[in-house]
């Protein structure tokens, strides 16, 4: 090789290496733009840093006249550590200045299991369409054109330093079927007008607080005025102070707490439709207005076991009206 060729090679080689490196960096940068890689996660949602499918359309699914019911039981031989639960409660209550007024709170409420049937109380059960690109058209249900589809007023009582009910399902808004998405690509929610009140029928103070998952409103807590279930409007309007609306339920429930009594605990789920229920003392539930045809996803959750179904639900036939589930393990 001539001296001239050797010198040119020495000059050009660094420049070529820099060009290759810049191309590699440029391609990687473009791939990660927007906070995600554009692929769908395990819930079928696009990983772009936002909730839901931002690019695709939302398709309505008609609700119907079907019913899905069932029983949630705890597996035989599986038992929560009741003594530990009671000990944790006692430790918290004993150091509180209101302990004498909260004597009935010493009884644990996290696991309420019927002795004969093994049915579990306070299990939240709800339905969703088969695909994330679909939504239940609940407008008529919200406007009460199909009978009483939901409770317009939900009351959270706390008579003995415990929340009653401990678990609630809410229907604060529905997706507008005429315009399912906003200009920003978010679900276009229409408020149902449902009120979620906290009341306080006793002399001691309660500071009820909602800890809301991202996208469902804002976390807030305030002292509850003296009030009862008979006049809940005198209590605390939780829907208003937290601006509650439906959110990505895979993030878990809205946690209900009391800053004054740290053992008090409850859960709420805010859905864009009323196809949901909470199990009774025997572990039984019933969901009405189920679509007459097609497939849906069913979700089952308990505070002491988490999701009993997969987080993205179990696909079932809408006509399969009997759905029983067994809790196999406890946290």
Together in a domain, 28 and 65: no
Residues 309-330: pLDDT tens digits?
Answer: 999 999 999 999 999 999 999 9
Domain presence at residue 205: yes
Together in a domain, 8 and 146: no
- Whole-angstrom Cα distance, residue 70 to residue 56? 34
Domain presence at residue 41: no
Domain presence at residue 52: no
Together in a domain, 248 and 285: yes
Mean pLDDT of the chain: 87
Together in a domain, 21 and 69: no
Together in a domain, 29 and 64: no
Domain presence at residue 38: no
Together in a domain, 194 and 102: yes
Together in a domain, 12 and 143: no
Structural domain of 11: 1-33
pTM: 0.83
- Whole-angstrom Cα distance, residue 242 to residue 236? 11
Per-residue DSSP letter, 246 = -
pLDDT of residue 149: 87
Least confident span in 25-34, 237-246, 259-268: 25-34
Domain presence at residue 42: no
Residues 143-153: pLDDT tens digits?
Answer: 986 668 899 99
Together in a domain, 14 and 103: no
Residue 97, domain CATH = 2.60.40.420
Sheet holding 195-198, edge to edge: 153-156, 195-198, 236-237
- Whole-angstrom Cα distance, residue 319 to residue 68? 8
Domain presence at residue 225: yes
pLDDT above 60 (res 51) = no
Domain presence at residue 47: no
Together in a domain, 11 and 105: no
Together in a domain, 8 and 83: no
Together in a domain, 140 and 273: yes
Over range 25-47, report the average pLDDT: 36
Domain count, the chain: 2
- Whole-angstrom Cα distance, residue 275 to residue 96? 40
Helix, coil or strand: residue 296: strand
Of 244, 273, 249, nearest to 149 (Cα)?
273
Together in a domain, 21 and 149: no
Domain presence at residue 190: yes
Locate 203 and state its tokens: 């002399």
**262: CB partners within 8 A, 6+ apart:** 92, 96
Confidence bin at 29 (pLDDT 50/70/90): very low
What are the DSSP E strand ranges found in the chain? 59-62, 66-74, 124-129, 134-137, 153-156, 167-170, 173-175, 189-191, 195-198, 207-211, 220-223, 236-237, 254-258, 265-270, 276-278, 284-290, 295-302, 306-307, 314-317, 325-327
The rounded percent of the chain whose pLDDT value lies above 90 is 79
pLDDT above 60 (res 110) = yes
């Amino acid at each position: 090789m001539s001296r001239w060729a050797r010198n040119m090679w020495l000059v050009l080689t660094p420049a070529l290496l820099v060009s290759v490196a810049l191309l590699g960096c440029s391609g990687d940068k473009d791939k990660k733009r927007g906070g995600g890689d554009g692929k769908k996660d395990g819930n079928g949602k696009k990983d772009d840093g936002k909730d839901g499918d931002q690019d695709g359309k939302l398709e309505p699914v008609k609700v119907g006249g079907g019913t899905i019911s069932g029983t949630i039981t705890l597996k035989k031989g599986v038992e929560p550590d009741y003594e530990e639960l009671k000990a944790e409660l006692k430790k918290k209550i004993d150091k509180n200045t209101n302990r004498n007024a909260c004597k009935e709170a010493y009884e644990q409420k996290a696991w309420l299991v019927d002795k004969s049937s093994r049915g579990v109380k306070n299990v939240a059960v709800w339905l969703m369409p088969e695909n994330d690109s679909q939504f239940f058209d609940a407008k008529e249900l919200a406007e009460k054109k199909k009978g009483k589809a939901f409770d317009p007023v939900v009351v959270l009582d706390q008579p003995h330093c415990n929340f009653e009910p401990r678990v609630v399902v809410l229907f604060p808004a529905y997706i507008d079927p005429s315009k399912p998405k906003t200009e920003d690509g978010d679900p276009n929610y229409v408020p149902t007008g449902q009120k979620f009140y906290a009341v306080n029928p006793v002399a001691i103070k309660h500071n009820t607080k909602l800890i809301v998952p991202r996208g469902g409103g804002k976390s807030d807590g305030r002292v509850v005025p003296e009030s009862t279930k008979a006049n809940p409007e005198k209590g605390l309007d939780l829907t208003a102070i937290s601006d509650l609306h439906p959110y990505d339920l895979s993030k878990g429930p809205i946690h209900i707490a009391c800053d004054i009594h740290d053992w008090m605990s409850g859960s709420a789920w805010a859905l864009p439709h009323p196809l949901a229920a909470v199990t009774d003392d025997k572990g039984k539930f019933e969901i009405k207005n189920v679509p007459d045809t097609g497939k849906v996803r069913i979700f089952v959750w308990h505070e002491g076991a988490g999701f009993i179904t997969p987080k993205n639900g179990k696909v079932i036939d809408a006509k399969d009206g009997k759905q029983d589930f067994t809790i196999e393990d406890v946290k």
